Structure 1
Amino acid sequence: MERPETGRGTTTAATPTWFATWWPMVLVGMVMLVHAVALVPELATDVPTRNDSMFHLLMVRGASDALAAGSNPLDFWIPQLELGFPQFLYYQHLPHLLLALVHRACFGIVSVETLFHGFRYLLLVGMPLTVLWSMRRMGFSLVASAIGGAASMLFVADNRMGLEYNSYVSRGYGLFSQLVAIHLTFITLATLTVTLREGRGYAAAALSLAALVLSHLLFGVIIAVLSVLLWLLGDHPRTWGPRLVRLAVVGMVAGVLASYMLIPFVLSSKAWLSTMPWVKLSGTPSWRVTEQTLSGGMYDLGRLPVLTFLVAAGVVAAAISRDARSRFAAVGLLVCVALYLVRPDATVLGRLLPAHNGFVSYRFLSAIGVLSVLVMGLGADALWRLMARVPTLRGTTGAVVGLLAFGLLLTPALVERWGYYRDQRDVVEESRAALAAAPGLAEVLARVEATSGGRVYAGPVTTRSCPMRVGPGLCVSDLLNARGVSTVGNPMQGLALSSGLIKEIPAGNPAMYDLFDVRTVVIGSDRVVPSFLQPVLKAGDYALYAVPTSGVAQYVGVNARRATNRQDTLYFAHDAWVRAGGAASHLVTRWDYRVPLAPHVPRALCPGNPRTVREEVTSQSVMVDVGCAAPSGDTLAVALKMSYHPQWEVTVDGAAVQPYMVSPGFLAVDVAPGAHRIAARYRAHPAKLPLLLLGLVVVVAVALLKDRMDAPAQWWLRRVA
């Protein structure tokens, strides 16, 4: 029998065609193409969103402005958040910082909005590639990795902030940090698997783990749980020792790399990061959520249970094979489901974690999604192996059948997702048309931007309603936030201690406007307004009014002094002070928060409640000239209408003074009668830069010692042998 020719360009019977081997990649490409078209509305920069994307956009813009101004981009004040807050001190910010660096490197040619939404779009469309690469590195087959990647874009649940794209798109929650964290979770699992199994790739594992922590602190806790499972389930128990050593080395290196954020966060978050005491959580299981989870409602809510079928097939396949990958995927999924369903928010475990209540129940839903993707891959691979046993379903024929079979299986999910994104496209178009047609809106917004000083009030805002809606899904306050205007209304994140106080300002109470330094009001032109509002502009359906206030600084009388270590005590005391009319009396309580109570020395109220003489306000500093003709020998108090934080440094006439907190959480200092210049400046945490430099030194050291990083584990192996 003659041997067939195997010359260049000739395919033999024993050599599978490209399509026979790589058909799963074709399926991934098709799913990505559908999403690439459907998600084009996410690139819109002229239509703001009402979700967390606005908050993240402010962070990127603030970091870019800090770089331009020569401030420390690792820790700076963002005045637009609540009454001002040092967001980067407490909130994961690596993606925002990187985008800000790119923006500065582009010299402003590309707008912050374009960079931000473009990066979001790439993350959304590119999710399957991250999953595919990660699963392949973990040892999954190409079929498992490709189907898992395709399925990662198709989750649909009850808007519970999990892996479903409802969590990230403009129509959903806009969880930008979580979107980055999902990518990094898959990458970190892949790099950790390689390091624990083979003792190489320490630098990649440590860098990806540090990047994950710096992109989402709560996912750092999730990956810690999953890392323990990788260690326990990834190989034979005889290798637990060296694998534990490798995990410890990776963890220590990653900890040093992320220390510039972690250490300042731990030192100050317990006191100054709000635990949202106005939100009460039961800490008990929800049987409705449990039923929905176990019935597949976390994958295919309201449609054919195609992903649920893949999960079930994967669990069966894992039980049969019991290899390391299957054990980790299946057991990890069960552990994450248990942590999500038991809801230990109010338990000892929840109180030990450096996060506010509710973290475990919400965030482990994303972990369920990550592990479910791995299990779906196992299920798809098992189904493909069953199909491949049929003699006629081999080679190109089998590849065509496989592509058609899995394509048809995922079609209901693709159709449902296409409809969801089509609705988003319609919302964007309707909002764009409404913005263009809104009589007078552009003129009013332009005048607001040209107005300097104070905050703007456009009515009470909640996540569901607002008094002035533009189109199907926008409020005037959203348009103001998009322009970087400091507003008073619904807090974006609620991380500042007093953020829950900023809800609604009573229309007929000028003292409340003065309290929060609201100098501009946007309202419907047909509305009747109180007499103290001064008309500035009426254009079409909108009107602009000015409010006379005492300025960014105000003399107050200190009639009491209290101490507490509890955030709930502090918050509800501030809330009671506001409700009791404290804004009109200008009499405040001095608070010794997290420090021992000192003797109280009353501060008299300045006669006449004078206005600020002159003020210069930037994002990082406040300078005011004040004056009070009080009797000689008296000591007065001046409050600055922004959130108190211990990293504010204040001088009076050039001499450093010690600021303190007064109701309702403002910064205050003592002054003598007469004219004074008060200068306050936010200073970054002193440990930030030194710890960042230490991390860079460690990166260099790991790069130089990469061939010796596994020495401790090898020593353990020799000792055991």
Structure 2
Amino acid sequence: MDDAPDLPARWARLALGAAALTLTASAVPGFFLGDGAPYGNDNSSHFAEILAVADHLRAGETDFWFDQTNLGYPLFVAYQPLPALLMGALVALLGGAVAPLLLFKLSIVLLWALMPVAWYAGARALGMDRLGALFLGLLLLVVNDFRAFGLGLSSGLANGLYTQAWGALLLPLALGHAWRFVVRGEGGPGRPALLFAATALSHAFLGLYAGLAAAAMVVVRRAGAAARARRLAAVVALAAPLLAFWLVPFLANLEHQGGLPWKSESENGYALATLARRAASGALFDHGRLPWLTYLALAGAVAAWRRRADVDRWLLVLLAATAALLLGPTTWGPWYRALPLHGELEVIRYLAGLHVCGLALAALAARRAVPRLRAFLARASGPAWLSPDRTLAAIGVVVLAGFLLGTWGHGRRYLRSFDVGERGFAALRERLAADTRSRFLVHGRLGTANHFFLNLLPALAGRPQLESYARGYHDTPSVYYLEYFDWSPSAFSLYNVGAAVARGGRGERLPDGFRETWSHGELRLLEPPEPPGWFAFVRTPFTVVGDARAVRRLLRVSAVRLYEKGVLPRLAERDPGTGDRIVVGPDGRVTRVALAALADGEPTGESVARALASYAPGPPRSRVLEASRGRNEYRALVEAAGGEDLLLKASHHPYWGVRVDGAPAELLRVAPHLMAVSVPPGRHEVVFRYRNPTYQKALFAVSAAAFAGGPLAGLARRRRAGVTERAGR
């Protein structure tokens, strides 16, 4: 690059190895000792899912329902599957020979120790020389943004963005090998297809961004665009079947995903002036310090505009597209949400894309500055033994030493753990595990809203907890309704909450029947005399018709009030044309009301509310005799009086099925986002069972075979080539 001498390969390897060893050393010994669970907001939820996958695999289950938070949701339908599948399989395979928490922490450190190596390798495939690639690999560890949500140690470790770290490890390799094939026409489509698929399966957004970056490769210049488009199409054609086992169910079930009711700048994007102000202040790359990396990226952008080589053009096009998408609906309006896969996307995710472009430009700027620095040193006077090359090497050693010291400090700051064997937490876990007939509640109002209580505690206790934000953006519309949890006795019953964990005296909002049953220090457990139970009988005299998101505003309050009367409406997407029903339009407004309890005339919000309040059939006559919860299923023995439906207090999903006395029955979707089944009079056994579709399992077998066979086939080709070369000598 710029005709300057490159860094010797052994020096690049030495610097990368030093970075990896420094980060690893920063975690020793404290991070790995004892029963410590890693800090980082999302780490606990990822570890909980790994444990759940391992438990399912040990039991021979190939259906994956996760019931520990948010009323339950399906694994591997909405969220990226690869990290949890691989780590869960490893935990199951080792069978306790290595503690699962230790394996999880080892994987965190290994991911970040290898991160500079992966970015170095990706940069080399993009055409950077060794010094430029080394700059990029090392700069990744020092980027620091105001939301700790992009790339870099602060987001990966402080926020616990575990699957994003997997995706970030694979992304540069996918982009580098795509560049070699799509732009240069070198090699074949197999390797970039495998890497693209692995990136998307590790982190959905980074997979989406890899697709955007690959599309930008097609337009780096006008000449040859058609050929590049054909090569990219070949990559997509090979990657699609690898992704199909996850992508097909994902796209088929979009309406059953996501659901936070509130959205701020992080979800809706930034005004142009706000984004420009943050960029100028250094908040995007240098939060809390002098904006040196921001200026370096800016210098790289200016140099790229002047030079305009293929890689420069590509980075500038990608940077412009990324910045535009980071503006989100705040700037572009409702059409933004009409973009493919952007309906529920957190716009702040594009901050990671901004880091990809900015760090690459900064690395190019740093590389181009080296020969200029050498020329300056050559002009400067000094002793004969202190040559420009020796001076430059000394500067490099000092800079690398400072970088390593900073990396060690960041590792010590972020690689910390919480002792789950601590007496109070361990005793609470055992107390909760003793009775799993209901969910428990932790909450900010109770002083127990950190991720160890929200996600780790239910995983270790084997007892579901009501709500977690870690997966609120992704997996189930139930989160919307849980955000409006009103602390009434009916809400506790509707969601089967039979315990609450509080600190100190924070329990005044709990229903009157809750009494303290255990305490340790500030921690208190409060429980009613009897848990509400996983099942209840209700009447479903009318139907609410509309899109799953459109009906939320109507149901978020009315569902709990109706349940108090023993009533819940059925839910349908299409108007049945008969019976009592309320039809809701796409904007959430009621467009038609056909209720027997509503007098003639134009329906108003008040009159509809009065009509709903008139449904008061009294307590149910049917009884739940026995109930149990297992992997992917709930069972009940009931005595039904007829005319009432059996409600299961778990998130509805179309992959659930239900049988009454062994015979298939119709699964009903009822408010707010639960399931029910009609039961005829008499004593019956009812079984709700979750099953991933057979086609998904078949597609997974194809994908697994391709991921295993692709590298093996490549190795076989290299061996054959080596044999041929030796034979020709």
TM bracket, shorter-chain basis: 0.7 to 0.9
Partner of residue 587 from structure 1, selected from 561, 564, 567: 567
Q: 1:358 to 1:293 in 2, by over 3 A?
A: farther
> Helix, strand or coil for the counterpart of 1:572?
helix
Partner of 1:351: 338
Partner of residue 487 from structure 1, selected from 465, 471, 488: 465
Partner of 2:173: 187
Partner of 1:510: 489
Partner of 1:222: 209
Please say if 1:175 is aligned against 2:161.
yes
2-side partners of 1:703 and 1:475: how far apart?
A: 39
In the TM superposition, what are the counterparts of 1:44-443 in structure 2 within 5 Å?
Answer: 45-47=35-37, 49=39, 51-72=41-62, 76-169=64-157, 172-196=158-182, 197-233=184-220, 237-269=222-254, 271-279=255-263, 285-341=271-327, 346-359=333-346, 361-389=347-375, 391=378, 398=388, 400-406=390-396, 408=398, 420-424=410-414, 428=417, 432=419, 436=422, 440-443=424-427
Letter of the aligned partner of 2:492 in structure 1? Y
1-side partners of 2:47 and 2:497: how far apart?
A: 23
Please say if 1:37 is aligned against 2:15.
no
> Helix, strand or coil for the counterpart of 1:537?
strand
In the TM superposition, what are the counterparts of 1:690-705 in structure 2 within 5 Å?
Answer: 690-695=698-703
Partner of residue 674 from structure 2, selected from 658, 666, 675: 666
Q: State the Cα distance separating 1:596 from its structure 2 match.
A: 4.8
Q: State the Cα distance separating 1:398 from its structure 2 match.
A: 5.0
Q: State the Cα distance separating 1:149 from its structure 2 match.
A: 0.8
Normalising by structure 2, what TM-score? Answer: 0.82
Q: State the Cα distance separating 1:592 from its structure 2 match.
A: 0.9
Letter of the aligned partner of 1:575 in structure 2? R
Letter of the aligned partner of 1:221 in structure 2? L
Aligned residue pairs, count: 665
2-side partners of 1:164 and 1:18: how far apart?
A: 26
> Helix, strand or coil for the counterpart of 1:588?
coil
1-side partners of 2:251 and 2:683: how far apart?
A: 40
Q: Is the 8 A contact 1:128 1:149 kept in 2?
A: yes
2-side partners of 1:130 and 1:262: how far apart?
A: 26
> Helix, strand or coil for the counterpart of 1:198?
coil
Q: Is the 8 A contact 2:69 2:468 kept in 1?
A: no
Q: 1:155 to 1:227 in 2, by over 3 A?
A: same
Partner of 1:570: 551
Letter of the aligned partner of 2:491 in structure 1? M
2-side partners of 1:155 and 1:208: how far apart?
A: 24
> Helix, strand or coil for the counterpart of 1:485?
coil
> Helix, strand or coil for the counterpart of 2:542?
strand
Q: State the Cα distance separating 1:147 from its structure 2 match.
A: 1.1
Partner of 2:434: 450
Q: State the Cα distance separating 1:248 from its structure 2 match.
A: 0.8
Identity %: 23
Partner of 2:606: none
Partner of 1:640: 648
Which segment drifts farther, 491-500 or 250-259? 491-500
Letter of the aligned partner of 2:683 in structure 1? A
> Helix, strand or coil for the counterpart of 2:150?
coil
2-side partners of 1:696 and 1:521: how far apart?
A: 42
Which segment drifts farther, 179-188 or 479-488? 479-488
Q: Is the 8 A contact 1:136 1:142 kept in 2?
A: yes
> Helix, strand or coil for the counterpart of 1:587?
coil
1-side partners of 2:225 and 2:408: how far apart?
A: 46
Q: State the Cα distance separating 1:130 from its structure 2 match.
A: 0.6
Letter of the aligned partner of 1:481 in structure 2? P
Partner of 2:478: 498
Name structure 1 gaps, 5 residues minimum.
1-15, 710-721
> Helix, strand or coil for the counterpart of 1:103?
helix
1-side partners of 2:228 and 2:410: how far apart?
A: 44
1-side partners of 2:132 and 2:374: how far apart?
A: 14
2-side partners of 1:645 and 1:342: how far apart?
A: 30
Q: State the Cα distance separating 1:187 from its structure 2 match.
A: 0.6
> Helix, strand or coil for the counterpart of 2:198?
helix
Q: State the Cα distance separating 1:499 from its structure 2 match.
A: 1.3
Q: Is the 8 A contact 2:54 2:91 kept in 1?
A: yes
Partner of 2:588: none
2-side partners of 1:566 and 1:20: how far apart?
A: 59
> Helix, strand or coil for the counterpart of 1:401?
helix
Partner of residue 521 from structure 1, selected from 500, 505, 508: 500
> Helix, strand or coil for the counterpart of 2:646?
strand
Partner of 2:447: 467
CA shift digits 1:144-171 (9 cap, x unpaired): 01111111100112025111322111xx
1-side partners of 2:46 and 2:456: how far apart?
A: 15
Q: State the Cα distance separating 1:605 from its structure 2 match.
A: 5.5
> Helix, strand or coil for the counterpart of 1:643?
coil
1-side partners of 2:521 and 2:565: how far apart?
A: 38
Q: Is the 8 A contact 1:561 1:589 kept in 2?
A: yes
Q: 1:662 to 1:96 in 2, by over 3 A?
A: same
Q: State the Cα distance separating 1:590 from its structure 2 match.
A: 0.9
Q: Is the 8 A contact 1:82 1:492 kept in 2?
A: no
Q: 1:476 to 1:194 in 2, by over 3 A?
A: closer
Superposed CA RMSD: 3.5
Which segment drifts farther, 442-451 or 204-213? 442-451
Letter of the aligned partner of 1:217 in structure 2? A
Q: State the Cα distance separating 1:372 from its structure 2 match.
A: 1.9
Partner of residue 631 from structure 2, selected from 604, 619, 624: 619
Q: State the Cα distance separating 1:418 from its structure 2 match.
A: 5.3
CA shift digits 1:376-408 (9 cap, x unpaired): 221121111223445599999555433443455
Q: 1:396 to 1:62 in 2, by over 3 A?
A: farther
2-side partners of 1:699 and 1:523: how far apart?
A: 47
Which segment drifts farther, 480-489 or 249-258? 480-489
> Helix, strand or coil for the counterpart of 1:613?
strand
Name structure 2 gaps, 5 residues minimum.
582-595, 597-614, 718-729
> Helix, strand or coil for the counterpart of 2:95?
coil
Q: Is the 8 A contact 2:261 2:483 kept in 1?
A: no
Please say if 1:544 is aligned against 2:525.
yes
Q: Is the 8 A contact 1:95 1:177 kept in 2?
A: yes
Partner of 1:718: none
Q: 1:538 to 1:209 in 2, by over 3 A?
A: closer
Q: 1:277 to 1:687 in 2, by over 3 A?
A: farther
Q: 1:345 to 1:586 in 2, by over 3 A?
A: farther
Q: 1:448 to 1:693 in 2, by over 3 A?
A: closer
> Helix, strand or coil for the counterpart of 2:654?
coil
CA shift digits 1:293-331 (9 cap, x unpaired): 244332222223332243233234323433222332344
Q: Is the 8 A contact 2:323 2:354 kept in 1?
A: yes
Letter of the aligned partner of 1:308 in structure 2? T
2-side partners of 1:346 and 1:596: how far apart?
A: 34
Q: 1:605 to 1:704 in 2, by over 3 A?
A: same
Q: State the Cα distance separating 1:563 from its structure 2 match.
A: 0.9
Q: 1:150 to 1:552 in 2, by over 3 A?
A: same
Partner of 1:559: 541
Q: Is the 8 A contact 2:271 2:327 kept in 1?
A: yes
2-side partners of 1:93 and 1:215: how far apart?
A: 6
CA shift digits 1:543-573 (9 cap, x unpaired): 4344323421101122321210251x32222
